């Protein structure tokens, strides 16, 4: 019984480390939200830019790079460009999260995100 009580002293250290990690996690998420990630599709016909929260912040269509008059094709290219930018943003977020957690795969939201 007393051995279990000795470990209670470590509880305070563990709580302090958890709070520090949560603070660093919040700071990293704020930094990621300010980042902008750009991807293109169809050889640059469509360029999409998302922020670190995977939100679309800019979309450009360069008519000199392809046929922008085919609306069905253009819709597919827009989706492809946005998806590519979001995937790149997610990869960057995962990389930063991995650095922060020392490689632990913590579920999203566990540390206040």
Q: Which residue has the tokens 């912040």?
A: 57
CATH number at residue 33: 3.30.1310.10
Q: Of 85, 49, 37, 90, whose CA–CA distance to 61 is shortest?
A: 49
Buried b (16+ CB within 10 A) or exposed e, 15-43: eeeeeebeeebeebbeebeeeebbbbbbe
Check: pTM over 0.85? Answer yes or no.
no
Query: How many domains are contained in the chain?
Result: 1
Q: Does 112 fall in a domain?
A: no
Q: Would the CA dihedral through 44, 45, 51, 52 be positive or negative?
A: negative
Residue 113 lies in a domain: no
pLDDT tens digit at each of 113 positions of the chain: 455 555 666 777 777 777 887 888 888 878 888 899 999 999 999 999 999 889 999 999 999 998 889 999 999 999 999 999 999 999 988 888 888 777 555 555 554 44
Domain residues for the domain of 73 are: 2-101
Contact 88, 37 (CB under 8 A): yes
């Amino acid at each position: 019984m007393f051995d279990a009580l000795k470990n209670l002293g470590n509880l305070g250290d563990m709580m302090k480390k958890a709070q520090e990690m949560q603070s660093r996690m919040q700071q990293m998420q704020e930094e990621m939200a300010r980042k902008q990630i750009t991807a293109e599709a169809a050889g640059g016909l469509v360029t999409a830019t998302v922020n670190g929260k995977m939100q679309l912040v800019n979309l450009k269509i360069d008519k000199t790079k392809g046929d922008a008059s085919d609306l069905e094709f253009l819709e597919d290219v827009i989706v492809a460009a946005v998806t590519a930018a979001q995937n790149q943003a997610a990869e960057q977020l995962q990389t930063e999260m991995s650095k922060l957690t020392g490689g632990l795969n913590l579920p999203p939201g566990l540390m206040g995100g």
